[in-house]
Amino acid sequence: MADVVVKPQVGGGGGIVIDDDWPGYSLDLFSYPAHYSGDLDCVVVPHGVIMDRTERLARNIMDDLGDHDIVVLCVLKGGYQFCVDLVDKIKALSRNSNRTLPMRVHFIRLKSYLNDQSTEDLHIVGAEDLSFLAGKAIVGTGKTMKALLKHVESFSPKLVKVAGLLVKRVPHNSTCLPDYVGFEIPDRFVVGYALDYNEYFRDLNHICVISERGKTKYKI
C-alpha cells in the first residue's frame, strides 16, 4: 500500500500528496448513497479528512490575510461545497480570535468538461463586471482558475490568492499551483463533495474515483 505524505509547497499551502499507486479506501468502509452502487471504484479522500484539511487551510488564510477586507470568489458548481466549508471555518476562527477577516462572497460559474474530458471551450458566467474587486484582497476557490485569474486581475484587486481543494497531477501541466492546496491527487477522474460527472455525484460526501460503469451509465 502506498504512503500518503505531506509535501510542502511554495506559498504556504502545503498539500497532502496522494501517490499515483495509492489504491484508495474500500467503499465497504464508508456510507454512500445506494443509488451509486457499482458506479465508484474507491474512496480517495473521506469526508472527515476533507473537513480537517479545510480547517487547516482556513487557519493558513487567517494567518496570511487576517485584518484584510476580502472577497471570496467561489467557482460554481464544483467549488461550492469547499467554499461553503472554508468560509464557515474562517468565520469560526474569527469568532475565537483577536484578528478579524471581514468577508464578502461572490459566485461565478466555469464550465470546461464534457463527460470526463476537459475541453478548450471555457465559459465564465457571472464575472462580466467585477469592478467591486478593485483594491480588495481576493481568495478564489475552485478549479479551472487560469483563465479566471487573468480576468480577475484586469479589475486591479489589491491581492489575489487561490485556494484549491484538489490539484491533479497531469502530464505537461504548466499551471501555477494554488496558494492554498488541500490535496494533490493522481490523474484520475474524481467525483463527490460537489464534484460531478454530468451533474451526478454532487450528493456524495466523500471524494471518490468514478468507475467505468459509472462513466457509461451517466454519459451524455
**pLDDT single digits (tens) 68-84:** 888 888 888 888 899 99
Q: CB under 8 Å, gap of 24 or more: what pairs does 80-84 form?
A: 80/107, 80/194, 81/193, 81/194, 82/54, 82/141, 82/142, 82/163, 82/165, 82/182, 82/193, 82/194, 83/141, 83/142
Q: How far apart are CA 43 and CA 147, in angstroms?
A: 30
Q: What does DSSP assign to residue 157?
A: -
Instruction: Select from 86, 83, 4, 85 the least CA-distant residue to 43.
Output: 4
DSSP SS3 for 109: strand
Judge whether 148 and 126 are in contact, CB under 8 Å.
no
**Bridging pattern class, strands 159-168 and 117-125:** unpaired
Region 144-148: mean pLDDT is 67
CA quadruple 156, 13, 204, 103: dihedral positive or negative? negative
Q: How far apart are CA 41 and CA 62, in angstroms?
A: 36
CA distances from 114 to 82, 175, 215, 219 (A): 22, 21, 11, 9
Q: How far apart are CA 69 and CA 85, in angstroms?
A: 19
pLDDT band at 123 (very low <50, low <70, confident <90, very high): low
Region 32-47: mean pLDDT is 97
Which tens digit of pLDDT belongs to each residue from 191-216? 999 999 999 999 999 999 999 999 99
Top pLDDT among 146 and 138 is at: 146
Q: How far apart are CA 10 and CA 6, in angstroms?
A: 13
pLDDT score, position 172 = 62
Length of the chain measured in residues: 220
Which tens digit of pLDDT belongs to each residue from 97-122? 887 788 888 888 776 554 555 545 55
pLDDT score, position 148 = 75
CATH of domain 47-188: 3.40.50.2020
pLDDT > 70? residue 8: no
Domain ranges (residues) in the chain: 47-188
Q: What does DSSP assign to residue 39?
A: S
Q: How far apart are CA 149 and CA 22, in angstroms?
A: 32
pLDDT score, position 10 = 35
Can you read off the three cell numbers belonging to residue 100?
Answer: 478579524
Instruction: Please give the model's pTM, rounded to 2 decimal places.
Output: 0.82
